Structure 1
Amino acid sequence: MSHIYQPVMIKKLLLSEGKAHKSEIAQEILSFDSSQVEYYEKVTNNMVGRVLRSHDIVEKEKNHYTLKNYKNLSPKEIEEIIQLCETKIQEYLKKRGMAIWEHRRRNRKPISGSVRYQVLKRAYGRCELCGVSKEEKALEVDHIVPKNLGGEDSINNYQALCFTCNANKRDTDNTDFRELEGYYNTKDTTCIFCNGNFQKIFENNLAFSFLDRYPVTNFHTLIIPKRHCSTFFDLTQAELNAIYGLAQKVKEQIIAKDSSVGGFNIGFNAEEAAGQTVNHCHMHVIPRRKGDVENPIGGIRNVIAGKGQY
């Protein structure tokens, strides 16, 4: 078994005389998910507990909350307050329904298991923000650009975040997304890459690839973001994901076409001092073959003469 889900479900069915509703099984699985407890602990401290403390209803000592004046309440008063709370809960549910949980499900459609697997595989099973392992903390598939701010359901817009980083993301990201819709459509009318007519090899929502017009070797390919930006350092994480995904496809296609390819030089020229001639970020994928130069040792170190061998 690859997860605790299966034994938890079997156990629940056995304890329920062989039959249980899917919601009952889900509740059982949820009871083992500490990341959900961690989420509501944060809600308790940062929202609920703070409000009740400000109204002098509860007090907090370290990780424990105490209802003030509880010892002065009679059993009848306790029962009356419980009933009042239940009434308020039902009134609120009747008024708002599932909308009260929109912060946990806004604009979301289920992410398939295969896509989730790809995202976690790409992240090597670690949170892409803090680096914690999936063995230490549950990882979630997060939209880099939030759905409610125009982010799309795309492998390029997904990242693996642990629960804590995902929950804190809203508080730490102060990017102004009001112009987001047009951001990735930014073009430069003077840029030959923005205005060129290229025969695209591969394409996704944020990038595309094409053969270099002045190839260093056969099948020398360029991968560029659709948005006009100057250098590698201007790329967003979503664009990096998009370019990385295309690089894998380009590599596989080249190897399938030419079995003599034994390696690749991959890289960016950033700024004029580093040899950049087109002011639109582009990644070179240069196939290498045994014997194409007398001594390939050092690879890209040879951009400065005499520094390749060490």
Structure 2
Amino acid sequence: MEYIVLDLEWNQSNTGKEDAVEKLPFEIIEIGAIKLNKERVMVSEFNELIKPQVYHEMHKITSKLIHIQMQELERGRPFPEVGGDFVRWCGQEEQLFCTWGTLDLTELQRNMAYYEMPLLAPGPLPYLDVQKLFAIAYEERKIRRNLEYAIDFLHIEKDIPFHRAFSDAYYTAKILIRILEEHPEVVVNLSYDTFCPPKDRRDEVKAQFDTYVKYISREFKDKTEAFADKEVVSSKCYLCHRNLRKKIKWFSANGRHYYCVAYCEKHGYLKGKIRVRKAYDGGVYIVKTTKLIPKEEAEAIAARRDHAREVRKRHKHSKAGNAGE
């Protein structure tokens, strides 16, 4: 097993969403990567700038953060050439991508799709989110630290500057090596890049971890079709695998995140959370997580549901009043 530790830098429209390209809101301008072998030794590097084809003015925040000038990028090669070389550099060995955070593989595949290149995988792509693994291994699970904090926490030497693709891949690789040495048990906590949702029901992801389970659905035409699917809205205890009756039915306060609470006689309250994600081609898919929670959290969710109901009721009455004027 080889580890491909990846980091990207990207640019975007400098004048706002109205000038952004819908299928490419973020254009990759630099790819940096480190390859670790199964002995956790750095054996190869990839580092290359990319000549912009879509956004020819550097976004002010991007320029300030990574200190790349457009003139420097103009000396690079177009993404299809660099991206193709990167895929060939990754090689044919069994490998696992590793990133700091959750965005890089999605944006890499979005750029590949824009140029009609073969994607990294036909469906959800398992990878290691080293930022998440650091939180599990060394701190409270929900705390997401920045890369430099983790380097300082682990007393790793800072021998090259931060905020460029190669340097951030290099430091992420250093952190991953420490995690593999000191807390190898946390590596079972895979993440999934879902730029390509499952093709059909047989390919849907059902992954169980130590404190929760994750379900990634196939693509649906729209949200209504998704919520008509029994698997999407079901509640099961992931410890005893029993179908459960909901104490709090699915509700949402924002139309994107949905919550429910079910109760298992043996294991207690379980919270379900659904996130509705848009697919690249315009459909939607569902990412659902289920985890055990204490009674107090179940009561807090009930209060959130009641508040959402009250807000909707006031909004409905307000619209009715305005229509009658």
On whether the aligned pair clears a TM of 0.5, the verdict is no
| Greater share of strand | 2
Larger Rg: 1
TM-score (norm 1): 0.22
TM-score (norm 2): 0.21
| Greater share of helix | 1
Q: Which has the higher contact order (CA 8 A, sep 6+)?
A: 2
